[in-house]
Amino acid sequence: MEERQRTRRPGGRGARVGAAVHQAVTDLVNERGYGKFTVGDVAARAGVADSSIYRRWGNLEALLADVVLTRLNARSPMPDTGSLAGDLRTYAAQVAREITGPDGLALLRLAVALSGNGEQGVQARDDLLAERARQLESMLDRARERGEHAPDALGVLDHVMAPMYIRVLFGLGPLTADYVDGLVDRLV
């Protein structure tokens, strides 16, 4: 077993460990909530040594930040449908699916909790928001280049993302397609 692992390229094993650790964090956030588990709990759940986590992430906050950043960003690639309304509807539907999915609420709660948790958390929040804003701006720029009138990225945050985030965070019913399309149509 040890021999077999040594012959695999490091990236392969690193990626597997990363995925197992990320999933363990998401599961523990779901089951116990933020602040209720340790690096040791994550390691045990993921089947890795504590030292592997400390070596790669440094501490629990940095690991949590990495999980939120990776999952909330990687799951929303930006659409390019040819019209601003189409792009925003598709993007909003992706975000709605992501935050109402099995890990969505846990990830949103983690994003909120991290924002108030020292430098690592603030850095993670800033990275997450900067990445989202960059993605959104490129979509809005494409619309302006086509001659469409486009709101700014903060307008999208305020009137499309924020209502969905708050409805999920406060447990206010499902985000239906009609509801999500309505948010976009009122903005555009």
Positions in the binding site for a second copy (CB under 8 A):
33-36, 105, 109, 111-113, 115-117, 122, 125, 129, 157-159, 161-163, 165-167, 169-172, 183, 186
Of residues 11 and 116, the one with the C-beta less far from a second copy:
116
Nearest to 101 by CA among 78, 126, 79, 76: 76
The position carrying tokens 């499309």 is 160
CB of 71 to a second copy, least distance (A): 17
Environment class of 178 (CB within 10 Å of its CB; exposed 0-12, middle 13-18, buried 19+) = exposed
Of residues 147 and 171, the one with the C-beta less far from a second copy:
171
**Do residues 164 and 92 make contact, with C-beta atoms less than 8 angstroms apart?**
yes
Of residues 17 and 129, the one with the C-beta less far from a second copy:
129
Q: Which uninterrupted H or E stretch holds 142?
A: helix 118-145
CB of 115 to a second copy, least distance (A): 5
CB of 135 to a second copy, least distance (A): 16
